[in-house]
Amino acid sequence: MSGVWLFGKNGVTRLISYPTRESFEQKEPPFPPGTATAPGARPRVLVYLPDNQVIRSYAELEVRLGELGWTRYHNSNRPDLLQFHRSHASAHLISLPSDFAKLKPLHMYDIVVKNRSFFQVRDSPPATSS
């Protein structure tokens, strides 16, 4: 178990596996509990580069992939996956979880690798308090 142990004022310790400067400066986690990121890390977002648009749903993603020649592949054997393919003659396939909330950076990078000049994965901007 490598990382840095932080001792709080109340005597409770916590392990930060991959410490960042932000993880030491903030007293409360910057993102809600249950966020699938390392402590102190920001969630990632998928950005469509031609319009600098953050993809926030599968509906938006399907439109953008459709513009690039990807079509939805309906696989009744795997209802837990949303899949896109380039053509029936191509081996290129993008497999994503059926729930957009479960989309992880691994899935985002798969989209980026197969569409290099059109998508990018970025850190999510910090939430603004009102």
Q: What are the structural domain ranges in the chain? A: 1-41, 44-123
What pLDDT score was predicted for residue 74? Answer: 85
Closest CA to 39 of 9, 25, 18: 18
Q: What whole-number distance in Å separates Cα of residue 18 and Cα of residue 118?
A: 30
Q: Which of 2-6, 34-38, 90-94, 111-115 has the highest mean pLDDT?
A: 111-115
Per DSSP, the three-state class of 43 is coil
Residue with tokens 């509906």, as numbered in its chain: 59
Residue 36 sits at φ, ψ, to 5 deg, of -85, 65
- How many helices (H) and strands (E) in the chain? 3, 8
Give the distance, in angstroms, between the CA of residue 73 and the centroid of all CA atoms in the same chain: 22
Q: Quick check: 30 pLDDT over 70?
A: no
* pTM, 2 dp: 0.65
Tokens, residue 75: 């696989």
